[in-house]
Structure 1
Amino acid sequence: MPEWLEVIVRTIFAVVVLFLLTKLLGKRQVSQLSFFEYITGITVGSLAAYISLDTDKTWHLGLIALVVWIAFSLGIEFLQMKSKKARDFLDFKSTVLIKDGKILEDNMKKERLTTDELLSELRKKDVFKLADVEFAIMESDGAINLLLTRENQPLTPKHLGIQVAPEQETQAVIMDGEILDDALDILGLSRKGLQEKLAELNLSVQNVFLGQVDSYGELTVDLYTDQVEVPKLEEKPQLYALLKKCEADLELFSLSTSNEEAKNMYEQCSLQLQEMLRTLKPLIQT
């Protein structure tokens, strides 16, 4: 076999073997790497290159080394899952950089992190003022996570004592002109129901590049033809959202008033509206 053809064959073989072994290592190998996973990635790449380009008769030794290294990596990952001491030894420990709003200079020096680098990482988290940070930690993979001071944390319904209904994940029901039955099952929607929604938009499944249904049952689509504008059927979801807002407002009014009679009135109205929403939900979301 000519040398150039042998290199092509070995390269294809190395790519296939490397792909299968990397799949065996799992998603962590292609995510934010730990210290040992970083070493593994470099070594595996070097061994794959050796298998591709080495034209003598010992290229198979590179394949053996590759398999042994992957097996060793799997063993290390298994050990890390079973033992915290092994995780602490093989990977870097997390390091606190900011505590109670104060920078820990000794820990900064330990991680060889400059003030400019710390401020840059804070800006990536949309934080431009150090005083807004209560706590920051550098994880074992080098990422910096932080906790804002209480007054700078986003206001949520929980802070107001308001209970909200759980939000269902938006599902892609049409992709590349094909209906995804698994997504329809999750939503409790039939093909016939989806076809009716498309008919209201004067569309067929074949026209749709991507179609999604949200928790309110609203269908949004992206067509293959970018020049065509799709009308949005928003009346029913908007009505449902408005009623939910009214319910939340009534709960907020009941919490904010000190008048027991008014509080009871708001609570009763909120309960009545909740019951009405449960009755109307199947009709609003179809």
Structure 2
Amino acid sequence: MDIVIRATVVFVLLWFVLRVSGKRQVTQLSAFELILLVTLGDLISQTVLQDDLSLTGGTLAVATFALLSVLLSWLSWRFRRSRRLLEGEPTILVKDGHVDDAVLRFERLPVDDVLAAAREHGVRDLAAVDLMVLEADGTFSVFTKSESDGEEPPKRGAVAS
């Protein structure tokens, strides 16, 4: 039972640290940050298992992490209001071609990363971006200004020709 309690405490601590640390994907991590994550994994295993290196202890720790992960996922699905807290929310970085510097500072996101994300989406100039969103999972969504800005969108149920 001691392993389950320690695993639960470490899981909650990890969840909190990851939520506070920001929206980044593994591909966005520097080599140093990746090494820190691997080291963190070793520290976590030592903290959770302490002296119990048995198969049962390891299985209990993994099962506790998996169960808590499924529980968070279910809570997020079941209670929409909890989703923002549990998963985060998308953040608008660029609107109408203008970068929101305050948001970049808050997200600790260099403008170079924004420019790289735009290039990955085939956009050369941020002035062509209608909206760029940093999604809760750390990915970027980029919407460009279309040439048909003046056209009305099709009516509901109508098929665009």
Q: Could you state the TM-score of these two structures normalised by the residue count of structure 1?
A: 0.34
Residue type matched to 2:65 in 1?
A: W
Deviations 1:201-244 (A, max 9, x none): xxxxxxxxxxxxxxxxxxxxxxxxxxxxxxxxxxxxxxxxxxxx
2:71 aligned with 1:75: yes
CA distance in 1, matches of 2:91, 2:141: 11
Cα RMSD over matched residues? Answer: 3.4
Structure having the higher Rg: 1
2:111 aligned with 1:115: yes
User: Does the CA contact (< 8 Å) of 1:132 and 1:152 recur in 2?
Assistant: no
**1:93-132 to 2 correspondence within 5 Å?**
93-132=89-128
SS at match of 1:61: helix
Structure 1 residues 152 and 102: alpha-carbon distance in aligned structure 2, compared to 1, 3 A threshold: farther
Residue type matched to 2:64 in 1?
A: V
Structure-2 residue corresponding to 1:61: 57
CA distance in 2, matches of 1:82, 1:88: 13
Structure 1 residues 140 and 57: alpha-carbon distance in aligned structure 2, compared to 1, 3 A threshold: closer
CA distance in 1, matches of 2:116, 2:105: 17
Unaligned runs of 5+ in 2: 1-24, 27-37, 47-51
CA distance in 2, matches of 1:114, 1:151: 29
User: Does the CA contact (< 8 Å) of 2:132 and 2:140 recur in 1?
Assistant: yes
User: Does the CA contact (< 8 Å) of 2:135 and 2:141 recur in 1?
Assistant: yes
1:162 Cα deviation (Å)?
A: 6.8
Structure-2 residue corresponding to 1:213: none
Query: Number of matched residues?
Result: 113
Unaligned runs of 5+ in 1: 1-31, 34-41, 51-55, 164-286
Structure 1 residues 162 and 113: alpha-carbon distance in aligned structure 2, compared to 1, 3 A threshold: closer
CA distance in 1, matches of 2:99, 2:148: 18
CA distance in 1, matches of 2:90, 2:124: 23
SS at match of 2:73: helix
Which structure ranks higher in relative contact order (CA pairs < 8 Å, sequence separation ≥ 6)? 2
Deviations 1:259-283 (A, max 9, x none): xxxxxxxxxxxxxxxxxxxxxxxxx
Structure-2 residue corresponding to 1:18: none
Structure-2 residue corresponding to 1:133: 129
CA distance in 1, matches of 2:89, 2:106: 12
Q: Match for 1:89 among 85, 88, 91?
A: 85
Worse-matched range after superposition: 90-99 or 124-133: 90-99
Residue type matched to 2:143 in 1?
A: L
Deviations 1:10-29 (A, max 9, x none): xxxxxxxxxxxxxxxxxxxx
Structure 1 residues 115 and 57: alpha-carbon distance in aligned structure 2, compared to 1, 3 A threshold: closer
1:101 Cα deviation (Å)?
A: 2.1
Structure 1 residues 146 and 152: alpha-carbon distance in aligned structure 2, compared to 1, 3 A threshold: farther
* 4+ residue runs over 6 A deviation: none
1:133 Cα deviation (Å)?
A: 0.7
User: Does the CA contact (< 8 Å) of 1:92 and 1:140 recur in 2?
Assistant: yes
CA distance in 1, matches of 2:69, 2:112: 35
1:59 Cα deviation (Å)?
A: 3.2
CA distance in 1, matches of 2:102, 2:81: 24
1:144 Cα deviation (Å)?
A: 0.9
1:107 Cα deviation (Å)?
A: 0.7
Structure 1 residues 162 and 81: alpha-carbon distance in aligned structure 2, compared to 1, 3 A threshold: closer
Deviations 1:138-176 (A, max 9, x none): 0001111111112289xxxx8xx974xxxxxxxxxxxxx
